[in-house]
Structure 1
Amino acid sequence: MSIPTITPGIVYHNAPTAIEWLGRAFGFQERTVIPGDNDTILHAHLTPGNGGVMLRSAEACPFPHLCKSPRELGGVG
């Protein structure tokens, strides 16, 4: 198995629902999910095969001026 050289990070509003959707829609598997307060996700690592993506709740981003969710970008990323 090869190790990916790039692992993108994404912020989502309602990250728990996004994790479920990514699993249903694209077959992502949860490797790590660290929940936060108020139904937020502090960190998650999901894998589709040998690739990977990291995500967190937009509400839990420690640098909100640097983190924009797809919703805040008009649905594009």
Structure 2
Amino acid sequence: MGLLAYSLHDNEGGWVYDNILYIQNNRNFNYFFTDGTGDTYELSTNRLGVHYVRYNSRSPGIVSVRARNCTRGNLPVI
């Protein structure tokens, strides 16, 4: 899937968003992270390395991850 690691943190000092999710990738995909409320957050990666998405949620834990490569369609949920 190209996702090496991810970690969720409180976005301390953030004015708008309470949570920040960091990922590290080794393939360029559009990633979709679904939290405990069922809300999904998209993170597009056009380079390898560390990326992040900030969001608000009453249940911020990630319950599923999907990845999409435009040329290959959807990849499995992990």
TM-score by length of 2: 0.28
Higher percent of residues as helix: 1
Answer 1 or 2: higher relative contact order, Cα 8 Å, separation at least 6.
Answer: 1
Higher percent of residues as strand: 2
